[in-house]
Structure 1
């Protein structure tokens, strides 16, 4: 693996972790978003799935986003007959977002992003030293 492969792998890791942070932030922002009509579905939590990508020329594996999907976990209900989305029994469907899970996911994505950034910085430093040795 050469320096450009290492930089490419780190950059790919940073891209997917940035998107992971975006998905978690969207989930957190919509953690209380209910439907607006009786019985309407609320916000459904988004999920992100990664996949390994092999560069056949260099033989180097990297990561990419496979899919941004929706969590099919059932919605919880809350009794609030005055809510515009309440059904005939006074129940409102609540989003299937668990804020603690999303917060933990943002921390994990942040650490993974930082690890890729550190790898990129170290690779850049090694490349600079190599160029200086050739002078």
Structure 2
């Protein structure tokens, strides 16, 4: 595995976690949105990840440390299909005839946990990139001292 492929894999992880963090921020920003252009309350968005496979090499030729993948990508963004939370608020403009308002089924604590997890994954990828960079710099200095 080359240094550049390590950096590419970490960069793909950074991109994926950035998208994940943006979706979490969007979910938290829309926690009170009761009406969207699609109709009904806002639906929580979740990133679905998939592995990027290195298709340039046939599996019969890949062995040992040369059998690397290509990182991760966001395969799709899924809208949570769980039912909305029904809150009694007859004064709300989106209340039905029964006085209930459909609110997004978003848990602040779940979103915060996801945000911390995504932040830690992002930090781990930054650490890998910095370590790879330092290793490359030290490799260039071999024999100079």
Indicate yes or no: 2:131 matched with 1:119.
no
Q: Deviations over 1:61-103 (max 9, x none)?
A: 1110100110000011000000000000000000011111111
Distance in 1 separating the partners of 2:41 and 2:90 = 16
* SS of the residue 1:133 aligns to: coil
Say whether 1:93 aligns with 2:92. no
Structure 1 residue 56: deviation in Å? Answer: 2.4
Worse overlay, 91-100 or 54-63: 54-63
- Aligned residue for 1:57, secondary structure, equals coil
State the aligned residue count: 132
TM-score computed with the length of structure 2 as normaliser: 0.86
Aligned to 1:18: 18
Runs of 4+ in 1 over 2 A off after TM superposition: 56-60
Q: Which residue number corresponds to residue 60 of structure 1?
A: 68
Q: Distance in 1 between matches of 2:28 and 2:3?
A: 37
RMSD (CA atoms): 1.4
Q: Given the superposition, is the C-alpha separation of residues 63 and 134 from structure 1 closer, same or farther in structure 2, using an over 3 Å criterion?
A: farther
**For the residues of structure 1 that align with 2:139 and 2:129, how far apart are their CA atoms?**
15
Cα deviations by residue, 1:99-135 (Å, 9 ceiling, x for unpaired): 1111100000000000000000000000111112265
The CA distance in 1 between the partners of 2:92 and 2:55, in whole Å, is 56
Give me the whole-angstrom Cα distance separating, in 2, the residues matched to 1:125 and 1:29. Answer: 39
Specify every segment of 5 or more residues in structure 1 that has no aligned partner in the other structure, as ranges.
none
Q: TM-score, normalised by structure 1?
A: 0.92
